[in-house]
Amino acid sequence: MPLLSFLDCDHAIAKPGYSRWLVPPAALAIHLAIGQAYAFSVFKKPLNYLVQVSAFGGGLKALPGVDSPNPVDWKFTDLGWIFSIAIVFLGLSAAVFGKWLERVGPRKAMFASAVCFGSGFLISALGVQFHQLWLLYFGYGVIGGIGLGIGYISPVSTLIKWFPDRPGMATGMAIMGFGGGALIGAPLSNNLMAFFRTEHDLGIEKTFLVMGAIYFVAMMFGVFTVRVPRGGWKPEGWVVPAKPKAMVTAHSVDVNAAFSTPQFWLLWIVLCMNVTAGIGILEQASPMIQELFKGRITASAAAGFVALLSLFNMGGRFFWSSISDYVGRKNTYYVFFVLGAILYYLAPRTGVSGLNSIPLFVGISAVILSMYGGGFATVPAYLRDLFGTMEVGAIHGRLLTAWSVAGICGPVLVNYIREYEKNHGVPLADSYSTVLYVMVGLLIVGLLANLAVRPVDSRYWYKSEGTKKKFATA
């Protein structure tokens, strides 16, 4: 079909004169859209009151402030599974479809992502209309989750190929978009729900339909704009360093071969530990600041604190990945683990019983969250340094399983430690110290894994480089 052939990799090869500065906006169009996933929680409360409002009207404010007042309404715990399924399918699809992406190129992958992510909303709208929760699990969770996974990895290797001089900055920019997606998604969802709300309808179904359409169109901008560089292309005035850096390979490794290298698994540990530790503070940021500074921080101020952390999480993605272009990826992760461990250790000491300094606690948390985001954004360039550009997107996809594991382990670890401490009579404010000290331990594990990373052995190198791809691999 002519339309589908437009999506082929051959048709996406850039003509001479194409500016590489069009590629980051294309990548951002995808990542800003799929980053909406982090804002899905804004739908939880309205979905929780769906039947109640339809039956009695009056909107959310007219309802009593208890969970699921109507027995047939969906429970918070059941609704929580929608996001969890989506994140699991993000990791799985990134791992499974990575190799396919490298074969078909970014344009077809971005299109597949747009179709999946957009349809996820449409199927979910049906789920709301017929009050079938499984349709939301299947729509937003499974189909939307697949869109998330393919979309997340789709621009990574293309950006690295367009910016061989600044791979960290280029991928950091896109991954910063994923962090920024929630910033657009949350107010957009709230505004649309407010617009469509009537006495007997919370407007969720219409909001899903409109958001599906908006995100599909936005992602199609990425599909139409993205290009891959021609074979042998390099930035004007840029020369391949005659003496490559010790940790940067000039060779490429196939995704299956990379999967069997110790380097892959060491980086898997590095990412998993960094993310688990970050989630540790992200999960409990609001109650933690209120407990550490009891009586001085209101719930509203705590919400402001969480918002501030989101800004640092997003900004850190660009800042640290750009810095890594100059200081090297390994050194950047050393900073994350060493500085991170010190800051996690100090954080509980800033409370009322210690230094009693809110600005210090906020500052420490902000730096920690910037390094959490930086860990996500710097890892594609780290993979490129170790495994080359040939299948870096596919390798990145498989590495994202570390995120899925951390997404489950982080909150479980935090909640179990706190529960254990609570049952043993430890005051709430002190229980945070234990959690943060455990996080210090995780960061030390990550530090040791990073320390063990060495260049990939030559037996793993792809032997017939240059013949595999029509577009640039250097």
Partner 1 sequence: MEDHTKKTPVALILLAWLFVGLPWAWGVAQLWKNAQKLFEAPPTAAVPAAPTK
Of 301 and 444, which CB lies nearer to partner 1 in the complex structure?
301
Check binding of 351 to partner 1 (CB under 8 A). Answer: no
Of 135 and 358, which CB lies nearer to partner 1 in the complex structure?
358
Check binding of 186 to partner 1 (CB under 8 A). Answer: yes
Identify which range of 108-116, 303-311, 348-356, 443-451 contacts partner 1 by CB under 8 A: 303-311
Of 304 and 354, which CB lies nearer to partner 1 in the complex structure?
304
Check binding of 307 to partner 1 (CB under 8 A). Answer: yes
Binding residues for partner 1 restricted to 406-465, rule: CB under 8 A: none
Say how many C-beta atoms besides its own lie within 10 A of residue 308's C-beta. Answer: 15
CB of residue 238 to partner 1, shortest distance in Å: 17
Of 74 and 162, which CB lies nearer to partner 1 in the complex structure?
162
Of 71 and 295, which CB lies nearer to partner 1 in the complex structure?
295
CB of residue 325 to partner 1, shortest distance in Å: 21
CB of residue 90 to partner 1, shortest distance in Å: 21
With CB under 8 A as the contact rule, the residue among 12, 281, 297, 439 that binds partner 1 is 297
Of 300 and 458, which CB lies nearer to partner 1 in the complex structure?
300
Q: How far apart are CA 34 and CA 38, in angstroms?
A: 9
Q: Which tokens is 204 given? A: 């969720």
Identify which range of 276-284, 302-310, 407-415, 463-471 contacts partner 1 by CB under 8 A: 302-310
Of 234 and 468, which CB lies nearer to partner 1 in the complex structure?
234
Check binding of 187 to partner 1 (CB under 8 A). Answer: yes
Check binding of 237 to partner 1 (CB under 8 A). Answer: no
Check binding of 301 to partner 1 (CB under 8 A). Answer: yes
CB of residue 466 to partner 1, shortest distance in Å: 25
Identify which range of 75-83, 94-102, 142-150, 292-300 contacts partner 1 by CB under 8 A: 292-300
CA atoms within 13 A on the CB side of 369: 24
Of 121 and 264, which CB lies nearer to partner 1 in the complex structure?
121
Of 22 and 451, which CB lies nearer to partner 1 in the complex structure?
22
Task: Evaluate whether 208 touches 122 at the Cβ level (below 8 Å).
Answer: yes
Identify which range of 105-113, 137-145, 176-184, 369-377 contacts partner 1 by CB under 8 A: 176-184
Task: Evaluate whether 43 touches 124 at the Cβ level (below 8 Å).
Answer: no
With CB under 8 A as the contact rule, the residue among 180, 212, 316, 410 that binds partner 1 is 180
CB of residue 305 to partner 1, shortest distance in Å: 5
Of 304 and 455, which CB lies nearer to partner 1 in the complex structure?
304
Q: Which of 323, 355, 357 is nearest to 339 (CA)?
A: 323
Site string for partner 1, 3-42 (x = CB under 8 A): ------------xxxxx-xx--xx-xx--x----------
Per-residue H/E/C for the chain = CHHHHHCCCHHHECCCCCCHHHHHHHHHHHHHHHHHHHHHHHHHHHHHCHHHHHHHCCCHHHCCCCCCCCCCCCCHHHHHHHHHHHHHHHHHHHHHHHHHHHHHCHHHHHHHHHHHHHHHHHHHHHHHHCCCHHHHHHHHHHHHHHHHHHHHHCCHHHHHHHCCCCHHHHHHHHHHHHHHHHHHHHHHHHHHHHHHCECCECCHHHHHHHHHHHHHHHHHHHHHHCCECECCCCCCCCCCCCCCCCCCCCCCECHHHHHCCHHHHHHHHHHHHHHHHHHHHHHCHHHHHHHHCCCCCCHHHHHHHHHHHHHHHHHHHHHHHHHHHHHCHHHHHHHHHHHHHHHHHHHHHHCCCCCCCHHHHHHHHHHHHHHHHHHHHHHHHHHHHHHCCCCHHHHHHHHCHHHHHHHHHHHHHHHHHHHHHHHCCCCHHHHHHHHHHHHHHHHHHHHHHHHCCCCCCHHHECCCCCCCCCECCC
Angle at 402 between CA 396 and CA 404, to 5 degrees: 105
Q: Find where tokens 């998993």 sit.
A: 272
Check binding of 184 to partner 1 (CB under 8 A). Answer: yes
Identify which range of 137-145, 308-316, 400-408, 461-469 contacts partner 1 by CB under 8 A: 308-316
Binding residues for partner 1 restricted to 376-405, rule: CB under 8 A: none
CB of residue 314 to partner 1, shortest distance in Å: 8
Q: Which of 124, 117, 104 is nearest to 152 (CA)?
A: 117
Identify which range of 62-70, 82-90, 276-284, 293-301 contacts partner 1 by CB under 8 A: 293-301
Identify which range of 136-144, 155-163, 182-190, 341-349 contacts partner 1 by CB under 8 A: 182-190
Binding site for partner 1 (CB under 8 A): 15-19, 21-22, 25-26, 28-29, 32, 177, 180, 182-187, 221, 225, 295-298, 300-305, 307-308, 310-311, 362
